[in-house]
Structures are given as C-alpha cells and as structure tokens.
Structure 1
C-alpha cells in the first residue's frame, strides 16, 4: 500500500473524527443484552470442553471450592482449594491504577 493512500485515509479519518467531536462511540454500537454474552460464554466453554475430550486432554474446572482436573478416563484430581475472602476484605483492598499483583508459587 502506498504512503499516499495511507495519508489520504488518515485525512479522511481526521475529518470524520472532527465532525463527530464530542460524540460518544456508544451511539454507533449495537445494544446487546447481558444474556447474549452469557450464551456466547457458555457455548465457548462447551466447545472447549468437547475439543479437550476429543483430543484426550484433561479438563480443568471449579467444583465445591476446589480447582479440579478431570482426566480423559474420567478420573478426577483435586489440584488446590480456593481461598475465599469476605466481600468487606475484598472492598478494602487499596488498589490503584498500575498496581502490580503478584501470585506466589505453589509450595
């Protein structure tokens, strides 16, 4: 692609941007319900599980507060327990933009 055509496209973009100054991009987006995303997520999870089973790979999921790995032969292995914290403790975290969260290694 030539430099000239890129410059032309950039000028068109700048003109469009100036004409729409102050507008929110939400006016151009489709309104989509929460149920739509839940359905997509559920279908993606089902597809991933089926692909893993077809390739004889283990499937990892959460059950009863544990991270569980199910092997292709049906055997289940508990990997680690999930430590839950209260909502109040969660809200009291003083995280600001740019905070780096470190996860410790498994002992």
Structure 2
C-alpha cells in the first residue's frame, strides 16, 4: 500500500513527464513549414496525431491537478460522487482517479 506522499510523488512525476511531452509536441508543430504539397500533406497528418497527443496530455494534466488539489484538501482517495473510499488497487492503477470502481464512467 502506497502512502499519500508516494502517490503525490508519482502524480508530480507524471505531471512533469506530460508537461515535457506537451512542450515537445508544441515544438514539433511549430517546426513544420514545408512548401512541397506531399510533404505538407504528410506533415498535416502528423500534426493531427500530435494534436491528439497534446489534447490527451492536457486532459490527464487536469486530472492530476484535481487529484493534487484533493490531496491538499484531505479528500484524496475518496470518491467525488459517493464519498466511499477508493480501493488501493484502483489508486495503484489510476492514481489521479476521482471515482471508486462503482461510480467510474462506463460502469
């Protein structure tokens, strides 16, 4: 069982990793200025993939920031919907999750 401090360190490490990834995505998107039609088409496809990665990273960052805020408020590890304790196993897999297994979307 991980302590809150260990979970916080895990969330902060993932946050740093995502911020670095977003920086690389932004740099890559800014570097495209090809004049050739075929190269421009290929770059556009690549840009769409990079943009999707950036959106996914932003979504995960929002979840991490919310989890860190719940930690500060002493509410981390409790479901935001029903208030029940989130299982340690679930937090091990999804440390930023705000939901218990029963309240998670898709259940």
User: TM-score band, normalised by the shorter chain?
Assistant: under 0.3
Provide the TM-score with structure 1 as the length reference: 0.26
Q: Which has the larger radius of gyration?
A: 1
Structure (1/2) with the larger strand percentage: 1
Provide the TM-score with structure 2 as the length reference: 0.26
Structure (1/2) with the larger helix percentage: 2
